Copies of this chain bind each other. A is one copy, B any other.
Amino acid sequence: MPANRYIVLASRPTEHAELKHFRFEDAPTPNVQAGQVLVRNRFLSLDPYMRGRMSDRKSYAAPQPLDKVMIGETAGEVLESKHENFRPGDAVVGFLGWQLFGVTDGKALRKVDAKRIPLSAYLGVAGMPGVTAWYGLNNIIAPKSGETVAVSAASGAVGSVVGQLARLAGCRTIGIAGGPDKCRYVVDELGFDACIDYKSENVYDVLKESAPQGIDGYFENVGGDILNGVLPHMRAFGRIALCGLIAGYDGVQIPIRAPQYFLSSRLKLQGFIVSEHLDVWPTALAELRELVASGRLTYRETIAEGLDSAPEAFLGLLKGRNFGKQLVRLA
């Protein structure tokens, strides 16, 4: 029974999430029962959806319970197993939360090949963010070669995969990201055709030049003013995959100013949650892993060191301070 340390939700934010909403606790890990697995978490994934779970307003998912370990995806290794599918030393990915160790019945635990690509990549480019990009791009935007695809939060864990997959599909790709460093990365390392720095440029104005023919597919991770800037540039029969509204998570809702474009340009807008489309996961994960292994899909990580840094890193993520996939190294 190793000594565990974990983070619980102490209270619910009414506006901005803050450090005070989290609390650290220490307790030994429970004994491993028949059918259970004890995992040492090596990496914790921090994701914007967690902000939604901290609220108890109506949502697609149940809220994070107060005083319980914060939900979160983790990658680690099996320490002890009384489950027939797992053995000590197995590299595994699961939802064990913001803690050093986790005991699970193995239902949501999957073994991964940490020799083919690095373990941490299974929390990003070859994990849930990657599949999110894969699903929204392939199943909602369904881009044709030669079309133009734009994506917000383009340097992030999801956006960076959207743009690279769209480029591999023969599309012209336009990223939207915050700051010159991220924009340089999006163009120089990820291979986008253009990137708009929403912090210093007006998205609507710049798109007149970077997408003079308009945008066929838009992958939305942000919403708010950026969505309002992109919408008038959507071409007839354009598709918008709505993956995130990070601008709205932290309290303030930003309206869609000009809904007439949905009609005048006959647009489709579709919101989705990747965990509801488990049928595509095996195909998507295998494809993403091989693209990473062969070097055709690149990625970047921001790694905070140690469990104690998780709350601060999470708040930074909500403010866009991370660069690529935000992780916490736990061991």
Residue A279 interfacial (CB < 8 Å): no
- Give the number of chain A interface residues (Cβ < 8 Å): 33
Give, as a whole number of angstroms, the nearest-CB distance from A271 to chain B: 4
Give, as a whole number of angstroms, the nearest-CB distance from A55 to chain B: 11
Are A255 and B253 touching (Cβ within 8 A)? no
Are A259 and B223 touching (Cβ within 8 A)? yes
Give the interface of A toward B (CB within 8 A).
Answer: 52, 58-60, 223, 227, 236, 242-245, 248, 253-260, 262-273, 276
Q: Which chain B residue shows the least CB distance to A60?
A: B264
Are B266 and A259 touching (Cβ within 8 A)? no
Count identical subunits in the complex: 2
Knowing A255-B256, A256-B256, the reply to whether A244 touches B263 (Cβ < 8 A) is yes
Are B266 and A236 touching (Cβ within 8 A)? no
Are A253 and B245 touching (Cβ within 8 A)? no
A-B contact pairs, 8 of them (CB 8 A): A58-B264, A59-B264, A227-B259, A242-B263, A248-B259, A254-B259, A262-B270, A267-B270
Are B255 and A242 touching (Cβ within 8 A)? no
Q: Which chain B residue shows the least CB distance to A243?
A: B263
Q: Which chain B residue shows the least CB distance to A227?
A: B259
Knowing A60-B236, A269-B269, the reply to whether A259 touches B255 (Cβ < 8 A) is yes
- Additional A-B contacts beyond A253-B260, A262-B270, A266-B276 (7; CB < 8 A): A227-B259, A244-B263, A245-B260, A248-B259, A255-B259, A265-B271, A267-B271
Query: How far, in whole Å, are A260 and B243 apart by their CA atoms in the complex?
Result: 10
Residues of B within 8 A of A269 (CB): 262, 267-270
Residue A253 contacts which of B223, B253, B257 (CB distance < 8 angstroms)?
B257
Query: How far, in whole Å, are A266 and B276 apart by their CA atoms in the complex?
Result: 10
Knowing A236-B60, A269-B269, the reply to whether A245 touches B257 (Cβ < 8 A) is no
Are A253 and B263 touching (Cβ within 8 A)? no
Are B248 and A260 touching (Cβ within 8 A)? yes
Query: How far, in whole Å, are A74 and B118 apart by their CA atoms in the complex?
Result: 68
Most buried by B among A253, A259, A266, A273: A259
Residues of B within 8 A of A258 (CB): 253, 255
Residues of B within 8 A of A253 (CB): 257-260
Residues of B within 8 A of A59 (CB): 264
Give, as a whole number of angstroms, the nearest-CB distance from A272 to chain B: 6
Residues of B within 8 A of A248 (CB): 259-260
Q: Rank and list the top 7 A-B pairs by shortest CB-CB distance, nearest first.
A: A255-B255, A256-B256, A263-B271, A262-B271, A269-B269, A268-B270, A266-B271
Residue A259 contacts which of B60, B256, B273, B276 (CB distance < 8 angstroms)?
B256
Query: How far, in whole Å, are A236 and B276 apart by their CA atoms in the complex?
Result: 11
Residues of B within 8 A of A52 (CB): 264
Are B271 and A245 touching (Cβ within 8 A)? no
Are A272 and B264 touching (Cβ within 8 A)? no
Query: How far, in whole Å, are A266 and B275 apart by their CA atoms in the complex?
Result: 12
